[in-house]
Amino acid sequence: MSLNKARDVLKTYFGYEDFRKGQATVIEQTMEEINSLAIMPTGGGKSICYQVPGLISQGITLVISPLISLMKDQVDALTSLGITATFINSSLSNEEQRERLNALRQGRYKFIYVAPERFDSDGFLRTLDSIPLSIIAFDEAHCISQWGHDFRPSYRTVVNRVKQLSNIPTLMGLTATATDEVIRDLQQLLNVRNEHIVKTGFARDNLTFKIVKGQSRSAYIEEFVRLSKDEPGIIYAITRKQVDQLHFSLKEKGLNVSKYHAGMSEIARKEAQNAFIQDDTTVMVATNAFGMGIDKSNVRYVIHYALPKNLESYYQEAGRAGRDGAPSDCILLFSGQDIQTQKYLIEQSEMVEEKKRQEYGKLQAMINYCHTNQCLQQFVLDYFNDDTDAEDCGKCSNCIDETEKVDQTKEAQMVLSCVKRMGERFGASITAKVLKGSNDKKVKQFGFDRLSTYGLLSHYTEKDLIQFIHFLVAENYLVSEEGRFPVLRLGKRAVDVLKGTAQVMVQVAKVEKRETTDYDGTLFEKLRALRKELADSQGVPPYVVFTDKSLTEMAR
């Protein structure tokens, strides 16, 4: 009964035919005044979860969001649908803020968006106490938790302030972060019972995940952007300097690019953002300062120029592609030296030791993602403990190259015995040196040049050996213990390999193969055009997924 009403509202106000996964449950709970935690992927449709019950309920809905830049857009969107809404934040003059608070007291708004900082003001709390509040929604709620990847201390105190209200309304936390610590923390802070946590599957069927190794990154990007023509895309780099350089070189090549990082003035950033959102520029080159909460639905690709610090960030950033449900690409350009950059960033940060250890652990998972044989989508779902039993995606860079497996059991045995002989006390780089048979001082100092495994794999480069070790870690043949200098130990699959009862299969030729398909300009262009055509054509439902293989067939 009440859901019918909700469906009516969804249709009348938002023009949508039906709820997406999880929305109905959250809405139903909220209408029954039950606190909820909604965990849905980026683009999953979290806003609807509070907007629909907000419209049905008698009172006012307060939305707390750490993203000031986004409030105006969200308010404008609601206003254009004929819904009364406003925002109050530090971008307004004191006079304006007072006016909006007055209007709020007079019941002129159904929705009000504020930043966590608003709660520092006693006056604001008194206003909240004087109006009929039905719902408080904590958007981007992972920022409340210190386990979240974007912790904002001021957001955490809001929870206590809310609990000081004389009538506590129904609470709702919304996030795309699904790690157990964050969930437990939020659950406790927002008083949400186990059975009221709504977690939808995290699989993004319309996204194709790819890892590209071993080629010039800027050349790859240039080519990719050129072939994508006027399809919007985002390129993430780690440092401001990388962003500046990449932006400069793409612009020099005549491509239509903007850039965004925290070192730019607020005006310049705003301009760049607007240009991108309004499709005036096609490509945004940015640090991770860009994009949180930005609702641009037609982003066709997200390229990571460098290794992100963890999978939480990666999945959120990559997930900004294809929010409209159309096929889109998420490409990570991997280069081994990025591992050092990320470690350096952790090392010189101000985090306490315990937190640093966690960050190293998360970084390791990110590195594992780049070296696994598994379906990439599946790997991410496992990481987030997503229990939806999805099949392999059939189109990520690991799924499409399955035929290229090569037996590397012997090499693996050599690496594993080397790690064992070195006493399981050293990291990947020195282990690679020993296997290579390097004259390195440290190798000699520890007497490793006298080991029987010294120089056993001298026909490989040290870089290849390190890659191979990362692969063995990713596949649980080795364990890399967290820390500034990770230590290699034998993993749970090592024994069978050493005994010779298990094989180690590796996909070696992945990158080369992609170069001749994807990277071949004409075929690649055909594929993209075809994909777009198929998505556009009415006969094809948007959720139908074409694997690169099937497209390759068709393009021929």
The CB-of-140 to Mg ion minimum distance in angstroms stands at 7
Residue 103: is it exposed, middle or buried by C-beta count within 10 angstroms (0-12/13-18/19+)?
middle
CB 85 within 8 A of CB 111: yes
DSSP one-letter code for 119: G
DSSP string, 24-88: HHHHHHHHTT--EEEE--TTS-HHHHHHHHHHHSSSEEEEE-S-HHHHHHHHHHHHHTT--EEEE
Interface residue with ligand ADP among 27, 31, 48, 246 (CB under 6 A) is 48
**Does 207 help bind Zn ion (rule: CB under 5 A)?**
no
- 180 CB contacts (<8 Å, ≥6 apart)? 385
E strands, 71-196, where? 85-88, 111-114, 133-138, 170-175
Interface residue with ligand ADP among 3, 5, 7, 20 (CB under 6 A) is 20
Cβ proximity to Mg ion, 16 vs 446, nearer residue: 16
**Does 13 help bind ligand ADP (rule: CB under 6 A)?**
no
**Binds 399: which of ligand ADP, Zn ion, Mg ion, none (CB < 5-8 Å by kind):** Zn ion
The CB-of-129 to Mg ion minimum distance in angstroms stands at 27
The CB-of-74 to ligand ADP minimum distance in angstroms stands at 8
The CB-of-400 to Zn ion minimum distance in angstroms stands at 8
Applying CB under 6 A, the site for ligand ADP has a residue count of 15
Interface residue with Zn ion among 286, 393, 418, 479 (CB under 5 A) is 393
Cβ proximity to Zn ion, 143 vs 400, nearer residue: 400
Interface residue with Zn ion among 88, 128, 321, 396 (CB under 5 A) is 396
Mask: binding to Zn ion, 357-376, rule CB under 5 A, as x and -? Answer: ------------------x-
- Give the Cα-Cα-Cα angle 515, 520, 526 (nearest 5 degrees): 130
**Does 47 help bind ligand ADP (rule: CB under 6 A)?**
yes
CA distance 49 to 55: 11
The CB-of-382 to Zn ion minimum distance in angstroms stands at 12
- Interacting span for ligand ADP (CB under 6 A) from 14-22, 210-218, 328-336, 464-472: 14-22
DSSP one-letter code for 325: S
- 460 CB contacts (<8 Å, ≥6 apart)? 435, 436, 468
**Does 318 help bind Zn ion (rule: CB under 5 A)?**
no
Q: Which amino acid is at 315?
A: Y
- Interacting span for Zn ion (CB under 5 A) from 61-69, 300-308, 387-395, 439-447: 387-395
CA distance 265 to 262: 8
* Residues of this chain, 18-57, that bind Mg ion according to CB under 5 A: 46
**Does 519 help bind ligand ADP (rule: CB under 6 A)?**
no
- Interacting span for ligand ADP (CB under 6 A) from 12-20, 242-250, 390-398, 437-445: 12-20
The CB-of-238 to ligand ADP minimum distance in angstroms stands at 24
CA distance 234 to 227: 14
Cβ proximity to ligand ADP, 44 vs 232, nearer residue: 44
- Count how many Cα atoms sit within 13 Å of the Cα of residue 128 in the half-sphere of its side chain: 30
E strands, 271-341, where? 283-286, 301-304, 328-334
The CB-of-7 to ligand ADP minimum distance in angstroms stands at 10
239 three-state secondary structure: coil
Which positions lie near ligand ADP, rule CB under 6 A?
16, 19-20, 23, 40, 42-48, 295, 297, 323
Which positions lie near Mg ion, rule CB under 5 A?
46
